Amino acid sequence: MSLRLRLLNLGLRLLVKPKLRRMKDPQNLRDSLERDAARFFVCPEDANFVADLIRRPQPPAKVGMIEALWASQGRPDRRRVILYLHGGAYIAGSPRTHRHLAAALAGAAGVRAIVPDYRLAPDHPFPAALEDALSSYRHLLSAGYDPSEIAVAGDSAGGGLGLALLLKLQAEDLPRPACYVGFSPWTDLSGQSDTLRRNARRDVMLPISRMKDATGFVLNGHDAKDPFVSPVFGDWSAPPPALLFAGRHEVLLGDSIRMAEVLRATGGDVTLELWRHTPHAWPIFVGRLPEADHAVATAGGFIARHLCAQPE
């Protein structure tokens, strides 16, 4: 464990976890994450960002456009792409808070990434985020990307959303992407993972006292075991190759372990990396933390191999 990781864990335990425990207003959480991202996260020096708009189909989705951000490093292979879905418990986060991670992951894979600004709860509870993720995937297909040229990735809630998207594509008989990467994916909103309580004290970042509030905002009375919001309960068939990361001390550890077991049971090619001492979704600290840099490099190599693209 690096010295930076030791210091980060201490700061998360003393400052971030108590703040999250006190914070009950979703808008305050969004504002706080935006401020912290601007102050602390660092973009790669040669990162490039381009704004875009994604049209929501009519019907059945709401009218309007989805704002999105293209992220890359250097001179990427523009024929291949990562659809990156940001974390934030479905109630916070945006392309602005995660653009550095998307750019770093895209750079490690030698491709570009697109980060949609999907709708957030409680203003837009389930299935709004999934609708926007599906619209974003359809946007890539209509732009000429072959499914074999698309990877889906995400962290925390975004990781769970990416898996829900795979199930949605399966249900609608749409072509699935080449691969999936999840950083500490949130795959079970029903709260049945045993590590929620077993790791409650060891997790340096996430307070389980806020989990019920978060799921209430997202579900708005919907069944928490619906596979399109909790993909660990899905009826999977031939899932694409998947790479999952989780920290051994985080409360969502069980979500990744169970998800890997479910995918393997249906014949999926799954790699599960369990890291010691790392906090929830630690790749978001890429550029600041050696362990984050290593995880992003590993994920980028995985994506490059499955997209047949070679990182520079």
Q: Which residues are catalytic?
A: 156, 250, 280
pLDDT in tens, 175-211: 999 999 999 999 999 999 999 999 999 999 999 998 9
Sign of CA dihedral 69, 53, 114, 270: positive
Tell me, what's the pLDDT at 30? 95
pLDDT in tens, 71-88: 999 999 999 999 999 999
Tell me, what's the pLDDT at 190? 95
* CATH classification number, 3-306, choose in 4.10.1240.10, 1.10.150.80, 3.30.70.890, 3.40.50.1820: 3.40.50.1820
pTM: 0.95
Confidence at 24, pLDDT banded by 50, 70, 90? confident
* pLDDT surpassing 50 at residue 59: yes
* pLDDT surpassing 90 at residue 242: yes
Confidence at 310, pLDDT banded by 50, 70, 90? very low
Where along the chain do its domains lie?
3-306
pLDDT in tens, 123-165: 999 999 999 999 999 999 999 999 999 999 999 999 999 999 9
Confidence at 63, pLDDT banded by 50, 70, 90? low
Segment 37-55 shows an average pLDDT of 95
pLDDT in tens, 148-159: 999 999 999 999
Segment 282-290 shows an average pLDDT of 98
DSSP letters spanning the chain: --HHHHHHHHHIIIIIHHHHHH---HHHHHHHHHHHHHHH----TTEEEEEEEEEPPTTTSPSSEEEEEEEEESS-EEEEEEEEE--STTTS--HHHHHHHHHHHHHHHTEEEEEE----TTTS-TTHHHHHHHHHHHHHHHTT--GGGEEEEEETHHHHHHHHHHHHHHHTTPPP-SEEEEES----TT---THHHHTTTT-SS--GGGHHHHHHHHHTT--TT-TTTSGGG----SPPPEEEEEETTSTTHHHHHHHHHHHHHTT--EEEEEESS--TTGGGGTTT-HHHHHHHHHHHHHHHHHTT----
Segment 23-34 shows an average pLDDT of 93
Confidence at 67, pLDDT banded by 50, 70, 90? very high
Phi and psi of 227, rounded to 5°?
-60, -20
Residues 6+ apart with CB under 8 A from 58: none
Q: What is the mean pLDDT of the chain?
A: 94
* pLDDT surpassing 50 at residue 312: no
pLDDT in tens, 245-268: 999 999 999 999 999 999 999 999
For the ranges 16-30, 102-116, 296-310, the one whose mean pLDDT is highest: 102-116
CA distances from 260 to 30, 169, 180, 269, 284 (A): 30, 19, 12, 9, 22
- Report the C-alpha gap between 1 and 266 in whole angstroms: 35
